[in-house]
Amino acid sequence: MIKNKISLFLATFLIIGFFFLALPEKVLSQPFCPGNGEVINGSLDSENGPFQFSRIFRDAVSSNCNPPKAFPGTFGNAQQNYNIHEFSIANGDSCVTVNYTSGNCETSALPVAYMNSYDPTNLSLNYLGDTGTNAAGLASFDFEIPSGNQLLIVVTSVDGPVDCDYSFTVENYSCQPPIITTPIPTLSEWGLIIMTGVLGIVGFLVIRRRKVTA
């Protein structure tokens, strides 16, 4: 009887162990390092956002590296949707050029560059530069980013949430290659707890059996 119980628990242990070992490790999304001229596609989603309640003022001045453009201020408090593109850390001081193509967003979106983080409630924080306009077609702007900092390109709507697609390239941005993580089989926390419990039960039954037969 005890032998049958031990066999049952061993079989249960093997099944549970196989299941939890088969669970892959989570792979975190890593920012990437854009190559010069590499086309980066993006879109704005009016249903799922994310959203903010202002936008930067369109002053018709495209930013430059020297002198850098001062933050142009904000405009209105209407809801806008936006999309963030994160790139890996700069490994050298760079005068970066962004070439933005409006696509079917036409005059409905505006690209802005930020450093390290973006706060939709404080649009001046970490501001680097922008096109100064939401004109349809191609628009370029330049800005400097110091070594050791991360580049973010944020594209926002200008007249309320929209659904549309755009693209852009990033030139002269020297950055670190992204960290690549490979999925490997691993035990989850619950897997370890369950397997430890099963092993404890099996050990207890084995010791008990030895005492009975002694």
What is the per-residue pLDDT for 34? Answer: 80
The DSSP H or E segment spanning 183 is: none
How far is it, in rounded angstroms, from Cα 8 to Cα 15? 11
Is the overall model pTM greater than 0.75, yes or no?
no
Helix (H, G, I), strand (E, B) or coil at 121: coil
Q: What is the pLDDT along the chain (214 residues), one digit of tens a residue?
A: 545 555 555 555 555 555 444 444 444 445 778 877 899 999 999 999 999 999 999 999 999 999 999 999 999 999 999 999 999 889 889 899 999 999 999 999 999 999 999 999 999 999 999 999 998 999 999 999 999 999 999 999 999 999 999 999 999 998 877 655 555 555 556 656 666 766 667 666 656 666 656 5
The pLDDT of residue 174: 86
Biggest CA pair distance of the chain: 92
Say which amino acid occupies 4. Answer: N
Beta-bridged to residue 154, according to DSSP, are: 84, 112
CATH fold of the domain at 40-171: Jelly Rolls (2.60.120)
Tokens of 91: 């490994």
In this predicted structure, what is the pLDDT of residue 200? 65
- Answer whether 82's CB lies under 8 Å from 166's CB: no
